[in-house]
Amino acid sequence: MDLLTTSETSEYLRLGERKLYELVAEGAIPCTKVTGKWLFPREELDRWVLSGLTRPAGMGHSDAPLIVGGSQDALLEWSLRESGSGLATLVEGTESGVGRVLRGEAIAAAIHFHTENDVRDTGEDANVSAVRAFATLHDAVLVGFVRREQGLLLQPGNPKDLTSIASVLASGATMAVRQPGAGAQMLLDALLKQHGAKLKDLRRLDPPCLTGPDLAAAIRAGEADCGIATRAAAKAAGLDFVPLLWENFDLLMHQRDYFKPSLQALMSFMSKPLLKQRAKDLTGYDTMPAGTIRYFA
C-alpha cells in the first residue's frame, strides 16, 4: 500500500496543509494515524477524488472492462467460462477487487470479508456490512454466488498434528499467509485476535501467497506447514483440511452494470444444475445462495 505523508498529500491533491488538516478534523478525507503521524493511502485518495466527480448533463459513466476482480475461486472461474459470459478474472484479493470496481477498472468483484464478530458467529454478515461502509458506493448490488468452507490446509498426514489456530501458535509451525486485504488474511487476523495474538506471533512464510492455490502449492512443496484457504483448494492440491467456518462468497457490482449481457449470462448460468454438480465435484461449496440479491443500495 502506497502511503503519503501530510506534505506529500498536500502536493498530490494541490491543497494547502491547513486545508488538509481541516478535512482530517472533519473526518472528510481517508487517512490513518500511525505513531502520531497522519498517513494517507494514495489509492483511497484517488477513490475519494473520483467520488466527487461532477459529470455534465448527458455524459454517462464509461463502461467498466469485462473483468471480475477480487478473490480467486475455482468454481467461479469455471462458471465464467462455461456461462459464455466473456468475463475475465483479475485476482488480487477482496479489498483490491472492490477498489477496482470503485475506480471503474472491473465490472464486478468477488468478495469475502471477515471481522472478529463474523468469526465469533454473532450473526454479522461481514460482506453486507463492508459494502454498506463504502461511502462512495451509492449504487451497490451484492449477488450471492456460493457459501464456501474455509479451513486450515495441512501437509498430507498432518505430521505436526495441527487442529486449530491455537495449535499452530503453540507448535511454532510455519504458516503460509496471504497479502493484506485478502479475505483469507482477514479471517486469519480475526482468528488470531480471538486468541489474543497478532500476525507477528506466527512463524510466517515470506513473501505472502497471492492466491489460495499458491498457498496450497507452498504447503505441498514443504515450504510451510499450514495456511488458510478453501476445502476445494486443499482437495486440488492433495492436502489435509481442518474446517474453520463457512463464509459468504459474493459478487459486488454497480446497479448500472447488473443488467449488462456479460453479468446476466453469468446470473442465468447460476440457476443451472451444472453449477451444483461442479460444486459437488470440487467439494466445500453450498450453491443455495447462487443468484440471490443479498444487498441492494
Q: pLDDT for 100-114, tens place per residue?
A: 999 999 999 999 999
In tens, the pLDDT along 180-218 reads 999 999 999 999 999 999 999 999 999 999 999 999 999
Distances (CA, A) of 40 to 45, 48, 69, 101: 7, 11, 24, 20
Q: How many folded domains does the chain comprise?
A: 3
Whether residues 110 and 176 fall in one domain = no
Whether residues 179 and 209 fall in one domain = yes
- What 8-state DSSP symbol labels residue 115? -
- What's the rounded mean pLDDT across residues 228-252? 98
Give the pLDDT band (50/70/90) at residue 59: very low
Residue 172 lies in a domain: yes
> What pTM, to 2 d.p., does this model score?
0.79
Nearest-CA neighbor of 72 among 63, 84, 60, 80?
80
In tens, the pLDDT along 129-150 reads 999 988 778 789 999 999 999 9
- 87 Cβ neighbours under 8 A, 6+ residues apart: 66, 67, 68, 80, 107, 108, 262, 263, 266
Whether residues 82 and 210 fall in one domain = no
Whether residues 163 and 228 fall in one domain = yes
Whether residues 100 and 213 fall in one domain = no
Nearest-CA neighbor of 142 among 100, 111, 181?
111
Number of H helices, E strands in the chain: 14, 13
200: domain CATH number? 3.40.190.10
In tens, the pLDDT along 67-111 reads 999 999 999 999 999 999 999 999 999 999 999 999 999 999 999
